[in-house]
Amino acid sequence: MRVTPAVLANDLTTFGQLIEVSETFTDYVQIDIMDGVFVPSTGIGISDLAGVKTLLKSEAHLMVAHPEDWLEAVANFGSEEVIFHYEAVADPEATISLLRDTDFRAGLAINPDTPVGEFLSLADSVDTVMFMAVHPGFYGAPFIPAVLDKIKDLRAQRPFLNIGIDGGMNLETAGLAGDAGVDFVCVGSAIFKAPDPAHAYCQLKASLNRSATNPADVRDCD
């Protein structure tokens, strides 16, 4: 199970700084894009992506109403997977086909209120399903525990699907998500607002890969 740092910024300077920090402890990040339409918040723009160069591998989490508008920009940035919101598009199958045609891995992000049965038919068409454990668009929003049951439900029905969770992740909730059956957790504020982001990242990896019923063994992070 892996920890993916989630890079969320609303200006080019902050975005570049977060990428530089990430380069010190990981080789893979998620970049979060918000349009102020599908979610109330706005973030970096297409031109901002062009202004930052990195060797990091990445996936793009598009919290936007029109994911197709961002594909060229995230491809040029170097993202290999696009995770779009099931609730944001009228025809998710068409968006998945577009991602395949443009050589992206395809992922579905699922809002907290969306039942598993509503999107289950698409699960075999994507590489990833990522559950939102917060309502998207708000940095540091509180964790919604009921999402863990949805993860267990989907894992039981699709044992080999790549399943992740995003939002409200910390040492405790990462362990709970691991127990629920995720393959990865996306973490923003618990890493980047920590005094030592690299240390926080190491601790989260330890928490994710232990039983939630026992204390995390973080001695290797000291």
Q: For residue 130, give the CATH number of its domain.
A: 3.20.20.70
Its pTM surpasses 0.85:
yes
Nearest-angstrom CA–CA distance, 174 and 168: 9
Residue 122 Cα to chain centre, angstroms: 19
Quote the number of domains for the chain.
1
Q: What is the pLDDT of residue 140?
A: 61
Q: Could you say which residues of the chain have pLDDT below 50? A: 211-213, 215-219
Nearest-angstrom CA–CA distance, 137 and 142: 12
What positions carry a catalytic annotation? Answer: 32, 166
Q: What is the pLDDT of residue 213?
A: 46
Q: Which domain, by its residues, includes 217?
A: 2-221
Residues in a beta bridge with 108: 84, 129
44-to-10, 16, 32, 100, 115 alpha-carbon distances in Å: 5, 11, 9, 25, 30
Nearest-angstrom CA–CA distance, 184 and 162: 8
Amino acid at 46: I
Q: What is the pLDDT of residue 9?
A: 92
Q: What is the pLDDT of residue 1?
A: 87
Q: What is the pLDDT of residue 212?
A: 46
